[in-house]
């Protein structure tokens, strides 16, 4: 398996089938420090847009992958941080569109959509997913912990402007945390804002993977199902991860470690991703544990494997 610097996967996605990820941002470079983030805390929040990685190198990798493989349902800008912080993320979307017929996806927190240039670049994607998990500046502050210069109302107005301009498919993810934004009265306020964006679909999520903060607790599927009734647009619960067997995807210890650098996974997740038997998964996981490259964390009845990150 070719090791790429900026590409990962294709990996199975709850929403996108097989998705080739494109990571344009250094680990945890973000405009927010969400309490529920599965990548952990944001060391230093920023709203400065920059060419964090060379865009030509990214496009060269995409071109090489298209020639050698090219088998995926979507190419998704996601990964280690907020992709719209990259000053040229729109060029990647244009490049994929020019070189292939594969649909492109932008997964963003939408915090920078008040900037016209960000909206213009984002409009190059076929599908855009933004996030709304708060209803005012205070709730935004304790749930998403944004950069000090991000104003909640300005952010929402920017998202509205984008939705009025965008010709593609819009998804809105609402991440609910027990005891923080999960009361029906709170969700109703979030719903009122989300409906103004006129999304094609709303995705309800909760902390099924280890979050940045220990106090973050997940809602049950039944609780999420009840809260679905507070939305008018089509709603889908995406919190439960589904394994997807793909025998065409090969795997080894390096590939599994690479997958874990992107997100915590259970053994079932890994087996489903790579079409492997659990005994083979256990062998690779055991090696990574003995090398102290990963550690385990229990969430509910599930054991997640998480990489050990070196302290700065």
Q: What is the CATH number of the domain that holds 286?
A: 1.10.10.10
Going by C-beta distance under 8 Å and a sequence separation of 6 or more, which residues neighbour residue 1?
Answer: 250, 251, 252, 254, 255
pLDDT of residue 277: 64
pLDDT at res. 250: 45
CA angle 51, 145, 85 (to 5 degrees): 10
Q: Given this model, what pLDDT does residue 248 score?
A: 42
**286: Cα separation from own chain's centroid:** 27
Q: For residue 244, what pLDDT is reported?
A: 43
Out of 242, 273, 291, a domain closes at 242
- In this prediction, residue 241 carries a pLDDT of 40
- What pLDDT score does 212 carry? 87
Q: What is the pLDDT of residue 44?
A: 87
* Residue segments in the chain with a per-residue pLDDT below the cut of 50: 241-250, 312
Please say which residue of 221, 242, 263 terminates a domain. Answer: 242
pLDDT at 275: 66
Say if 144 falls within a structural domain: yes
Shared domain for 146 and 257, answered yes or no, is no
pLDDT reported for residue 270: 83
Helix pair angle (152-165, 184-196), 10° resolution: 40
Q: Are residues 116 and 167 in the same domain?
A: yes
Residues 116 and 131 in one domain: yes
């Amino acid at each position: 398996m070719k090791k790429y610097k900026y590409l990962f996967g294709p990996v199975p996605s709850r929403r996108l089938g097989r998705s080739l990820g494109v990571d344009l941002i250094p680990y945890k470079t973000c405009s927010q420090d969400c309490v529920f983030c599965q990548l952990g805390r944001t060391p230093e929040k920023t709203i400065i847009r920059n060419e964090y990685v060379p865009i030509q190198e990214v496009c060269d990798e995409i071109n090489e992958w298209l020639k050698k493989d090219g088998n995926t349902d979507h190419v998704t800008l996601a990964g280690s941080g907020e992709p719209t912080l990259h000053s040229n993320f729109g060029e990647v979307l244009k490049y994929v569109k020019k070189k292939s017929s594969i649909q492109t996806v932008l997964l963003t927190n939408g915090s920078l959509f008040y900037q016209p240039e960000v909206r213009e670049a984002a409009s190059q994607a076929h599908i855009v997913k933004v996030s709304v998990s708060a209803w005012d500046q205070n709730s935004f502050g304790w749930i998403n912990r944004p950069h000090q210069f991000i104003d909640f109302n300005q952010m929402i107005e920017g998202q509205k402007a984008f939705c009025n301009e965008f010709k593609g498919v819009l998804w809105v993810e609402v991440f609910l945390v027990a005891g923080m934004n999960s009361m029906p009265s709170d969700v109703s306020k979030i719903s009122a804002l989300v409906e103004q964006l006129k999304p094609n679909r709303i995705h309800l999520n909760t902390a099924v993977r280890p979050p940045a903060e220990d106090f973050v607790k997940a809602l049950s599927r039944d609780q999420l199902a009840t809260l679905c009734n507070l939305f008018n647009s089509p709603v889908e619960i995406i919190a439960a991860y589904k394994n997807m067997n793909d025998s065409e995807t090969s795997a080894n210890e390096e590939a599994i470690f690479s997958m874990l650098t992107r997100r915590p996974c259970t053994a079932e997740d890994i087996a489903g991703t790579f079409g492997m038997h659990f005994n083979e998964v256990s062998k690779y996981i055991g090696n990574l544990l003995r090398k102290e490259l990963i550690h385990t964390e229990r969430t509910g009845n599930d054991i997640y494997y998480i990489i050990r990150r070196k302290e700065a």
